Amino acid sequence: MEGWGLGPKDLNPDLVYARISGYGQTGPRAREPGYASVCEAFGGFRAVNGYPDRPPVRPNISLGDTLAGMHAAFGTVMALLHRQRTKGPGQVIDASISESVFNVMEACVTEYAMAGQDRPPSGSTISDVVPSGTFRCSDGRYVVIGGNGDSVYTRLMEAIGHPEMGAGSPEYADNAKRCVRVDEIMGAIEHWCVGRPLAVVVSVLKAARVPSGPILSMRDIMKDPQYVARGMIQDAPRLPRAASVSADGGAAQQPQKPDSFVVPAMLPLMSATPGSTRWAGPELGQHTDEILRFELGLSDAELAELRAKGAI
């Protein structure tokens, strides 16, 4: 941005200026390009995903991009609040994809720095929390069960027919002891789940007040009663396509019929000022002719030449 004369020092000092990059504005990697895929690895996230005997895996979304955007937005809001309260100048928000990923790595830094434990990948479980994991049901679907916490664990084991393995027994009294017996406990849960369809598993555990739930695909989410009740799936209007403007200012074509896009709700939900997507944005290239004609001064002939070359 500095090369274009648009850096923070080139503009009004009252501005809150948010920057997002791969590695931040300083340090030896500051000038390196960074995509979410690479920065998720550099931020430590990929190292804890997958199974120990296989290559690290990537969730099928660009999580790093989302996290960087959220950090930049949160930083911007904090800077605006600071400016409002102090009547002072703006400031620069330096958000990087890699550091945004690093910032959600929970206790991994402290675990290594204080105990020398470099958290490994753990498949569908989480290290040193027993029981917590993903289990296959008889209908081929999967359920996630979080049975950590002594009282929850006891209710879980009672629900699956193993009250003798509850936290009341010395061998399973706390999480540290359960970690020692992880294979036995997880095996009992796996055996119980695989003999029942997902709906039965979830129903039984819900009755026992054990946190559990299905793994939903987007197909499932679109029709799930919880998502529907909360208004999580919304329609964003697609405005009628604006008529292209000819050189003499007249309409070159007729507007198209309105339509809409299905989009996720704007979150978080706010009681007084709820957000929504007012429109889905212009069509690809909708304003190309208008901008090239009236902002850059191109003629009809020049536009036709660019179009013939496939440039526009």
Catalytic option among 10, 65, 94, 259: 65
DSSP helix, strand, coil percent of the chain (3-state; round to 5)? 40, 10, 50
The DSSP bridge pattern shows strands 132-136 and 142-146 to be antiparallel
Helices (H), 128-181: 150-159, 175-180
**Cβ atoms within 10 Å, residue 71:** 22
Block residue for tokens 């809001």: 77
Contact call for residues 299 and 247 (beta carbons, < 8 A): yes
| CA–centroid distance for 298 within its chain | 42
Q: Spell out the residues 6+ positions from residue 300 whose beta carbon is closer than 8 angstroms to its own.
A: 246, 247
Exposure string of 281-292, with b = 16+ CB inside 10 Å and e = fewer, is eeeeeeeebeeb
| CA–centroid distance for 145 within its chain | 21
What amino acid occupies position 131?
A: P
Q: Which of 176, 156, 8, 22 is nearest to 99 (CA)?
A: 22
Is the Cα torsion angle 106, 109, 111, 114 positive or negative in sign? negative
Q: Spell out the residues 6+ positions from residue 35 whose beta carbon is closer than 8 angstroms to its own.
A: 22, 62, 64, 97
- What are 120's two structure tokens? 């490994």
CA dist., res. 71 & res. 96, Å (int):
9
Does the active-site annotation cover 259? no
Active site residues: 65
